[in-house]
């Protein structure tokens, strides 16, 4: 069962400049940063709030580390902006299977490693009214890591 909005992914050309905008404009601070080589992105997670299920809601800022990454290709086509929405779930495997059974294409056969040790998969935007949708099961313990 989907429990919350885990994060909104925002593609950007310059991560540091974009982080500074969100810090200076809204007061959001970086909770976590990492480079995901598999996905070809450098990212910063800005925590917005805690949630009743023990998780949190974030803005995920994504800068491609290579032009041929999914985010790099998306940026080249669309420019900066909202890239995807992610919903939190206690069991990404079960929810992905359930949603697949309803005719929605799930992009990964098996969930992959996501931010902060989470497990993730994506749903095809053409099956979700034009919205790239991510399902996320957070790691057991969330802690700030930079």
60 is catalytic: yes
How many Cβ atoms from other residues are within 10 Å of residue 57's Cβ?
A: 17
Catalytic member of 39, 63, 84, 142: 84
The reply to whether 134 belongs to the active site is: yes
- Which of 39, 43, 63, 142 is labelled catalytic? 43
Q: Of 7, 32, 63, 142, which residue is the catalytic one?
A: 7
Q: How many CB atoms lie within 10 A of CB 59?
A: 20
Nearest-5° angle of CA 40, CA 46, CA 57? 105
**How far, in Å, CA of 118 to CA of 109, rounded?**
16
Among 32, 39, 63, 134, the one annotated catalytic: 134
Distance CA 8, CA 57 (A): 8
Query: CB of 3 within 8 A of CB of 88?
Result: yes
Residue in 39, 60, 83, 142 annotated catalytic: 60
Q: Which residues are catalytic?
A: 7, 43, 60, 84, 134
């Amino acid at each position: 069962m989907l429990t919350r909005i885990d994060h909104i992914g925002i593609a950007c050309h310059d991560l540091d400049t974009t982080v500074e905008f969100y810090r200076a404009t809204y007061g959001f601070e970086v909770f976590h940063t990492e480079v995901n080589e598999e996905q070809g992105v450098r990212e910063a997670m800005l925590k917005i709030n805690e949630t009743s299920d023990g998780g949190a809601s974030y803005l995920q800022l994504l800068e491609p580390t290579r032009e041929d990454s999914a985010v790099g290709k998306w940026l080249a086509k669309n420019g900066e902006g909202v890239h995807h929405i992610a919903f939190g779930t206690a069991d990404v495997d079960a929810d992905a299977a359930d949603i697949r059974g309803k005719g929605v294409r799930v992009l990964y056969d098996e969930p992959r490693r996501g931010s902060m040790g989470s497990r993730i998969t994506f749903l095809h935007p053409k099956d979700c009214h034009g919205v790239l949708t991510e399902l996320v099961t957070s790691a057991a313990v969330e802690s700030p890591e930079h």
